[in-house]
Structure 1
Amino acid sequence: MASHAATLLTLSLLILWTSPALGGTNDTEDCCLTVKQRPIPGNIVQAFRYLLLKDGCRVPAVVFTTVRGRQLCAPPDQPWVARIIRRLQKASAKNKRS
């Protein structure tokens, strides 16, 4: 009886561990629940990444990481977001050439 219970427990843990919802590459903690419509000052942003619907997120967003380490969610279709991304990409290309 004890070995049967241990087998069931092990199997259950294995299923939970490999489940995409719990062990996937993009946990819901990584997704934005809302996006900031007001522009973020570009000079405080040091990095960005995309979180899209295809990644399993309900709200598509660009996540900006500030120089203080905060993460701010922004709508990917806004012109101010595209300007910040272009600036970061240009700075990154410049650093790679140096």
Structure 2
Amino acid sequence: MALRLLLPLLLIAATFLIAQAQGIGSSAPDCCLKHSRKPVPSGWVKSYRLQGPESGCLLRAVVLTTKKNKKICASPTDSAIQKLMQNLDKVKNDKKDKKDKKKGHSLRARGGPKRQKRQRV
């Protein structure tokens, strides 16, 4: 009787351990292993993220995402890359400001008193 209860528990535990060993369900970071030396046209890039020890990667890098969703690893100390990141930040902030202004304007337009219909006598 005890064996009937113990066997399913052992099977579940073994399945869990195998899944952990294979990395199922783990979120291993996708890290750059080296920096690209080719220049990256700024028109290709839509966003970037920083990579380093704080994100679980050994190499410090800027991971650029192109408009075609390709990843390019670049050096964070490269002056052209730093300028590209500043431009991307500026564009992002400008879009955010426009969105905030648009929201504020539309709220004021709707916030006025409603027109009342004339009643015919």
Unaligned 5+ runs, structure 1 = none
Match of 2:26 in 1: 23
TM-score of the superposition, structure 2-length normalised? 0.64
Match of 1:9 in 2: 14
Q: Which protein shows a greater Rg?
A: 2
* 1:8-61 C-alpha deviation (Å, 9 max, x unpaired): 3144157x28x8xx624xx24x11111112321111111001111221112111
Structure with the greater relative contact order (CA < 8 A, sep ≥ 6): 1 or 2? 1
Unaligned 5+ runs, structure 2 = 99-121
The offset of 1:3, in angstroms, is 3.1
Aligned residue identity for 1:66: T
State the aligned residue count. 91
Match of 1:78 in 2: 78
Secondary structure in 1 matching 2:46? strand
Identity of matched residues, %? 24
83-92 vs 47-56, which moves further: 47-56
CA RMSD of aligned residues (A): 2.3
Dislocated runs of 4+, deviation >6 Å? none
TM-score of the superposition, structure 1-length normalised? 0.77
Aligned residue identity for 1:87: N
